[in-house]
Structure 1
């Protein structure tokens, strides 16, 4: 289906918005009136610019407070409308959005509304323009889509139809099944937006918190199915008011928007994309560092051993159990500390996974490799993390470990048996995009977003995981655009006995994150422990949580650069990440940084 995006959804000047939309692959745009008024281009120049970019102008919007008003005011509205219709003719737009009135002078008279909208449509028809009437969720007298359709149907004018907006419909809890009673040819336009489920004024909700389909809590796909059953054949258009998107670069936002529509079309059976190839495990985590010594000392204390090195690059492989850490000290490494730069994902079909990623607009990363290197496909996640699709130990597929030369045998098990999960700090404006990316591109299930208290505000965190939990990634974002240093990335290592692993780490010279005594006093009030158990946790800085399935025990190393490690023990099917303990951990890390000047 043809796709479109409202210019209000993107940041920048009108020219920048049009360019971003075209480069992302949209076929059309809705021109938001404020964007046109602020542009130095004439309507003819905007029309030509869109034509050069291959964009149709699918809608001009909005026209407000038109209907169900006293006759003298409606006469002024018609005069205003004629000016807009003449501008639209110059622009090359043939459909105008008319929102249900919020004017205090509007009256609750459906017959008057229908009569005046019919006259408006008659005037629009003289200019070759159609009128799409939309019910605003906060409209003064018309606030539901079925009410708006009743008025349009009563008016009976061929140039008057309705515009359906998923936010206005779903935010009010309206049943979208009734959409199927509207003839498809009378649905002149469809606007799509998702939103998190919030308890707040619907106008503020709409103006600040909309997001792209698949990033919120609305059943946008269900609504779209109802619309398609009417025979609607117009564009799928995104109209998203979002403070974060309006501050982010237009180009990446437009790509995120287009990806959301591709996933949405796939969901409703209107897009033929390569099938999702869900990763089955973590092959490796790659850390880049300008100073390997503190990192390798930390790895050694955790029980890892350096087992191999890359044949042609300054990359060393450290292993313990099924946990593999690559340490990269190459010349391209950034000088601002150790960072988690890449993740190797075990894939049943790496080539198919890469095709899926490319079809969903994931940036395919060029890779410098020698002729004998394993041909690994990699794409960039929204935060810049490189994702490699790997096949470890499968004879029929290239093995990334073939690029390494053994330097020592793998160590005897020392407690760590694998990577439990990875935590990635997202740029402030990429959080929603990251959740959609990991779900749509990788086929991971996105769990509910949670808020975590930090010394400087609230963090948002959202985990994505495969069905059996062999791949878990926690996506986190700070409370403000400038908050890019407090929240490090981390690698959680799975162990069957966190107490033994923590003691072994400390005996090897490792430093565990100190946890305040107040935390353990609170634990004693909330849970009953065996004799000496709580004292052991207090001594080692182990935190504790329970859910309906099981128990979680975990502790943290000190931070090296922007990375720290977590030792975790999951018992009896615990599925969470110790979220109740996150505020304590964050505050403890803040204190540790203050003491060390880090």
Structure 2
């Protein structure tokens, strides 16, 4: 599998873009014309640099508004084209993208368009150039890849083929299965992009909201399967117009982009085309949270809160300044080694997996950076990687009792467990990192993404998307808080069989909950037909409640300590949500 990317996908000028693409592992690039026009380097210098970096120059693009025009305009278009072919010779490139006409077309005729493309192909052949004709989703007459292919068929020239772009096909709802009717050798190029499901004009959607594969709503796995089944053997290339990606760090975005292609190729495993794709190490989704790890400048406050919540102090690590609290399978590590210059924050979490070494191998295949954590003789070395935001993720082979627990000594005698496990870990992302995080957790950990939603807060809307295993044993809600908010508040939620009783006991121990306004409980009575005594009990303990057709949800929040707070949840019957619709806005307002 060869990978390529259009230089328009990433930020900066052309030379840094080429370096970033090479470092990320791409085999080639599409040269976006404005990137070359604004470069100070000559075409020959760009050609030499690409060769030195090991990059092929796969496609020069775009050439616009060519076909479907009268004779006078056609003659001028041929003049324009010849100058581009001469430029391409200097670049050492042999393939140019010709987009269907959106501006100057006046003749809606397949015969005319085919005749003009044939003439263009004949001119191109004299320069050793091929033409990849693409139907733009907003083309004046040609906006369907099937019509573009009919025109190419009629043109009947060896130097004229089609370019298939997933956005232009899937955004219009066109059936991609007919791609398999196109001979593979006439598919000259493939461009891939994902996108969120939006209701807006297709041009604005395309220019501002495309995403890398795995981040949107398109079924790119099926789409790519059809292209490969047709016999296409060229590079898998990305063409993603996105305002965020064109502002963020060029190297990081290039690595993010390459990860998306490697992941997508791994999804396509069709008979007869498996050799065209790269297969990642197979993993099963994580089976449970192993632990969460907090670091920061006020860990003593966390000790007190965990004591008030009923967790048991399990002791200190025998060689490191690290201590452990647990209840059931919910484990909280407080690490004094690093991060003391920051407020208390969530720095890492552990996952129980079927094969820790396989999980790490997959992470490295997807260019997730490895994490070194010092271990001494006789200590368990947990393989670790880092998420895009720096969150460390450690893998442990699933089993009844993790071996690393034996490294903690002088703990308290066990008390009755108030928590069963970690229910979910909520991780706040910077706005510019959100899509990258969604792809990371999907591709590296094998999590599924729930549909995104927005929650009202006092300073604007909070974008939220839950990444989870199918059985819900691992849940990672990812949030983007309004840009006006300072800090990146995160929280850990624990499951309990009796949140009401736990809250009452924690109150007696002096725990201060996040206060809930009385108005919430008046609204709760209106939303659900609840027993008045139950509502009064919720009110007296600052508990929140939600329910749906599958069951109920009782939960409470602690106050925020540094950048972290805790939540206890009781899922009654088959309730599978998070109380997001009504309870999250109350939490966000109270935390303000």
Counterparts of 1:463 and 1:199, CA distance in 2:
22
- CA distances 1:166-198 after superposition (whole Å, capped 9, x unpaired): 000000000011111111111110000010111
Which residues in structure 2 correspond to 1:88-107 (within 5 Å)? 88-107=88-107
CA separation of 1:403/1:92 partners in 2, compared to 1, >3 Å: closer, same or farther? farther
Q: Is this contact kept in 1: 2:314–2:408, CA < 8 A?
A: no
CA contact (8 A) 2:209 2:243 kept: yes
Matched, 1:549 2:578: no
Pairs within 5 Å for 1:131-146: 131-146=131-146
What's the counterpart of residue 380 of structure 1? 386
Cα distance, 1:104 vs structure 2 = 4.3
Counterpart of 2:517 in structure 1 is 516
User: Which residue in 1 is equivalent to 2:529?
Assistant: 528
Q: Larger deviation: 102-111 or 526-535?
A: 102-111
What residue number does 1:290 align with?
297
SS at match of 2:500: helix
- Contact kept? 1:67, 1:106, Cα under 8 Å: no
* Residue of structure 1 equivalent to 2:463: 460
Unpaired segments of 5 or more residues in structure 1? 591-598
Alpha-carbon shift at residue 25 of structure 1 (Å): 0.9
Written as runs of structure 1 = structure 2, the 5 A alignment for 1:402-551 is 402-413=406-417, 415-480=418-483, 483-485=485-487, 487-551=488-552
Structure 1 stretches (4+) deviating beyond 3 angstroms? Answer: 391-395
> Is residue 391 of structure 1 aligned with residue 394 of structure 2?
no
Superposition pairs for residues 101-140 of structure 1, below 5 Å? Answer: 101-140=101-140
- Tell whether 2:78 aligns with 1:41: no
TM-fit CA distance, 1:334: 4.5
Q: Deviations over 1:487-523 (max 9, x none)?
A: 5100001111111111112211111111122221111
Match for residue 214 of structure 2?
214
TM-score by length of 2: 0.96
- Give the match's secondary structure for 2:587: helix
Aligned positions of 1:317-356 closer than 5 A = 317-330=324-337, 332-356=338-362
CA distance in structure 1 between the aligned counterparts of 2:299 and 2:527, rounded to whole angstroms: 42
Residues of 2 paired with 1:302 and 1:58: CA distance? 60
Does the 8 A contact of 1:520 with 1:538 survive in 2? yes
- Contact 1:276/1:441 (<8 A) preserved: no
Give 2:272's aligned residue: none
Q: Is the 8 A contact 1:58 1:93 kept in 2?
A: yes
How many Å separate the matches in 2 of 1:328 and 1:7? 42
- Cα deviation digits, residues 49-70 of structure 1 (max 9, x gap): 1111110000010111111112
Counterpart-to-counterpart distance in 1, 2:391 and 2:60: 39
TM-score, normalization: structure 1?
0.95
Contact kept, 8 Å, 1:392 with 1:401, in 2: the verdict is no
Distance 2:315 2:35 in 1: 57
> Which range moves more in the overlay, 256-265 or 88-97?
256-265
Shift of 1:120: 1.3
Tell me if 1:279 matches 2:283.
Answer: no
Query: Structure 2: which 5+ residue stretches go unaligned?
Result: 270-276
Structure-to-structure mapping, 1:162-201, within 5 angstroms: 162-201=162-201
- Cα distance in 2 for residues equivalent to 1:526 and 1:264: 43
Secondary structure of the residue aligned to 2:302 is helix
| 1:579 is aligned to 2:580 | yes
Partner of 1:247, secondary structure, is coil
Number of aligned residues: 584
Deviation string 1:470-493 (CA, Å, 9 cap, x unpaired) is: 21111111243x6452x5100001
Q: 1:222-371 maps to which residues of 2 (within 5 A)?
A: 222-269=222-269, 270-330=277-337, 332-371=338-377
1:305, distance to aligned residue in structure 2 (A): 2.6
Deviation at 1:394, TM superposition (A): 5.6
Maintained 8 Å contact 1:291/1:329: no
- Distance between the aligned counterparts of 2:39 and 2:377, measured in 1? 52
Deviations 1:299-344 (A, max 9, x none): 11111232121122211001122211001122x3142300000001
For 1:504 and 1:9, how far apart are their aligned partners in 2? 55
Q: Which residue of 2 aligns with 1:595?
A: none
Q: Over aligned residues, Cα RMSD in angstroms? A: 1.5
Q: Do the aligned partners of 1:61 and 1:98 also contact (CA within 8 Å) in 2?
A: yes
2:548, 2:400 → 1: CA distance? Answer: 37
In the aligned structure 2, how far is the partner of 1:478 from the partner of 1:17? 30
How far residue 261 of structure 1 moved from its aligned partner, in angstroms, is: 1.2
Distance 1:92 1:143 in 2: 30
